[in-house]
Structure 1
Amino acid sequence: MSTLILALVAGAVIGLALGALGGGGSVLAVPALIYLLGFTPAAATTASLIIVTATSATALYTHATSGNVRWKTGLLFAAAGILPAIAAATLATRLPAAVLTAAFAVIAALAALRMLIPSNADRPALPARHTRAAGAGAGLGAVTGFLGVGGGFLAVPALVGVLGLRMRAAVGTSLLVITVNSLAALAARAGTHTPLQWAVIAPFAGAAILGAWDGKRLASKISGPTLQRIFAIALLAVAALMLTDALH
């Protein structure tokens, strides 16, 4: 199968996951780029940031036109993650490939467990919310910069549980946070001279954007919990594969 077709298929599948689940789908971008398209871990995380930025910004526009973005809350949350995103992106370019692969496997496994075992923790009091919001924003920025993932699986629960947003507003606002953090991480990687294969990245991103629209229709036909379980199981398998690869 040609590289172009692989890029289009992988992008479409990831777009479907993003559209159907509202977050978490971009976690599959890095392993797809590494194992299907032959990218190095460093190049894959940079390419994934480009793909995540494009898909998140597109989805952000659609949510904004529907009034689902809390701009002030999102910008404050994103502000806490900008410096960690830049620092983590700079660090990631200097680490061995095996370390990046292992770290990504751990994050992918945590994302899968987060989907399988949703948190039912009580909402914290207001002062604690502000502190936890800053910590969550910084953590999300670091994960985005280091591993090139959007982090919707972290952002949405934080915006709901910590800041008290309704789910629809949390999904829309998380896209603002992800877009800002991804742009910050890309800026940090701009001078690293990581080779970028635009002939692969462009169709991958385009297919992901189009797939996200179909994902919304898929979500209307299959229950959310069922979709989450299917995706989480697939993500655990990917995490196991990447961890095994990193340890050999």
Structure 2
Amino acid sequence: MELALLAIGVGLGVGIVVGALGAGGGILAVPVLVFLLGMPTHSATASSLIIVLITALVSLPHHARHGNVEWKNGLVFAGVSVVGAVVGSRLSALVPAPVLLTLFGVMLVGVAIAMLRRALRTRRDERAEAIAHGTPAELEAEEPVAVHDDPVLDQPGPDTVESADGIQRHHGEPELPTTPAASASPRLPLVIAAATLTGFLTGFFGVGGGFIVVPMLVIALGLAMRRASGTSLLVMVIATATSLLARLGTDVHVDWTITLIFAAGSAVGGILGGPLSTKARPSTLTLLFSVLLGGVAAVTLAQTLLG
């Protein structure tokens, strides 16, 4: 009974993160399932896929109703990610559990740093926009983000953005290249690489991949942050479903009771998290998320390497 209550409570928190940011469900679910709920590592990655899939399905309608899902770009991105998802799922089952958790912890550190950089850049953009519109600094720090009129979340990606690796990248039109003439665009290799990597990480670690999809949709396709967050949920649904199908026939067992209880709490959190994204500043949410990831990374590496 206590384990079930813990699964519901933690799942609720994970779902709020997914609904608010369009990212982070699996990356939090895996260490929670392993260290708090005592699930074997490989089973936890499979259970995480189920949890992320359910949560993303519940969170997606809210973003779609508000026009924040780019269906065409999302479906193409997700389609490319399928190959990586299949390869990652099959390879994951062959890697020893301690090695898998260590790699997962290292990935958490990298994502936490990338999220921190994004939070700081977004905060600078918010302040610059507030100054440009004549908003006093005191009010800018206190006022919540407007639901339908936020200059930072709703503006298209800038012409040049510094990516997580420090490289300055130029934006083209927000659509994926679809004609032979457009295939020479430097964005196409970037989109293919990002989608394949997203699929691989989804299959290998059991994560949704939103932490990669969101910045890639902004950098490569020039989507506004709010639309990138909503579209990432569509990509999650397809990538996680593919990864689950790819694990059929492997020696991985799922504790359906704990998984579904966790998923139920996460789904409720996803419903609550969607509206939350319209009430809190994106820089604040991203900053808190980066700190949370850093703490989870520290616990994961300490438990794996020292425990």
TM-score, normalising length: structure 1: 0.93
Of 189-198 and 40-49, the range deviating more from structure 2: 189-198
Relative to structure 1, the CA distance from residue 3 to residue 99 in structure 2 (aligned partners, 3 Å threshold; closer, same or farther) is same
**1:116 and 1:229 in contact (8 A); partners too:** yes
Q: In 2, distance between residues paired with 1:169 and 1:14?
A: 21
Question: Which residue does 2:15 correspond to in 1?
Answer: 15
Structure 1 runs not aligned, ≥5 long:
none
**2:208 and 2:240 in contact (8 A); partners too:** yes
1:149 aligns with 2:207: yes
Question: Which residue does 1:70 correspond to in 2?
Answer: 70
Q: In 2, distance between residues paired with 1:166 and 1:96?
A: 40
Relative to structure 1, the CA distance from residue 21 to residue 172 in structure 2 (aligned partners, 3 Å threshold; closer, same or farther) is closer
State the Cα distance separating 1:29 from its structure 2 match.
Answer: 0.4
1:46 aligns with 2:46: yes
Residues 91-125 of structure 1: per-residue CA shift (max 9 Å, x gap) = 10111001110111112112211110127414425
**1:114 and 1:153 in contact (8 A); partners too:** no
Q: In 2, distance between residues paired with 1:80 and 1:20?
A: 25
**1:143 and 1:149 in contact (8 A); partners too:** yes
State the Cα distance separating 1:57 from its structure 2 match.
Answer: 1.7
Question: Which residue does 1:177 correspond to in 2?
Answer: 235
State the AA in 2 paired with 1:100: L
Question: RMSD value over aligned CA atoms?
Answer: 1.8
State the Cα distance separating 1:216 from its structure 2 match.
Answer: 3.6
SS at match of 1:149: coil
**2:21 and 2:277 in contact (8 A); partners too:** yes
Question: Which residue does 1:82 correspond to in 2?
Answer: 82
SS at match of 1:162: helix
Question: Which residue does 1:133 correspond to in 2?
Answer: 191
State the AA in 2 paired with 1:74: G
Q: In 2, distance between residues paired with 1:172 and 1:27?
A: 18
Question: Which residue does 1:224 correspond to in 2?
Answer: 282
Of 17-26 and 201-210, the range deviating more from structure 2: 17-26
Q: In 2, distance between residues paired with 1:203 and 1:56?
A: 16
The correspondence for 1:187, drawn from 232, 236, 245, is 245
Question: Which residue does 2:170 correspond to in 1?
Answer: 124
Relative to structure 1, the CA distance from residue 172 to residue 20 in structure 2 (aligned partners, 3 Å threshold; closer, same or farther) is closer
Q: In 2, distance between residues paired with 1:75 and 1:138?
A: 13
**2:63 and 2:230 in contact (8 A); partners too:** yes
State the AA in 1 paired with 2:203: G
Question: Which residue does 2:222 correspond to in 1?
Answer: 164
Q: In 2, distance between residues paired with 1:219 and 1:70?
A: 18
TM-score, normalising length: structure 2: 0.76
SS at match of 1:67: coil
Q: In 2, distance between residues paired with 1:214 and 1:61?
A: 13
Of 50-59 and 210-219, the range deviating more from structure 2: 210-219
State the Cα distance separating 1:200 from its structure 2 match.
Answer: 0.6
Q: In 1, distance between residues paired with 2:276 and 2:60?
A: 19
Question: Which residue does 1:27 correspond to in 2?
Answer: 27
Q: In 2, distance between residues paired with 1:168 and 1:226?
A: 15
Relative to structure 1, the CA distance from residue 86 to residue 125 in structure 2 (aligned partners, 3 Å threshold; closer, same or farther) is same
Residues 156-207 of structure 1: per-residue CA shift (max 9 Å, x gap) = 1100110111222211211111111111110111211422111111111111
Question: Which residue does 2:165 correspond to in 1?
Answer: none
Residues 24-64 of structure 1: per-residue CA shift (max 9 Å, x gap) = 24311001100111111100000000001111122223322
**2:171 and 2:219 in contact (8 A); partners too:** no
The structure with the largest helix share of the pair is 1
Structure 2 runs not aligned, ≥5 long:
122-160, 163-167, 173-184
1:243 aligns with 2:301: yes
SS at match of 1:212: helix
**2:63 and 2:274 in contact (8 A); partners too:** no
State the AA in 2 paired with 1:37: L
Of 222-231 and 49-58, the range deviating more from structure 2: 222-231
Residues 209-237 of structure 1: per-residue CA shift (max 9 Å, x gap) = 11122224444554332232222112112
SS at match of 1:196: coil
SS at match of 2:221: coil
Q: In 2, distance between residues paired with 1:197 and 1:34?
A: 12
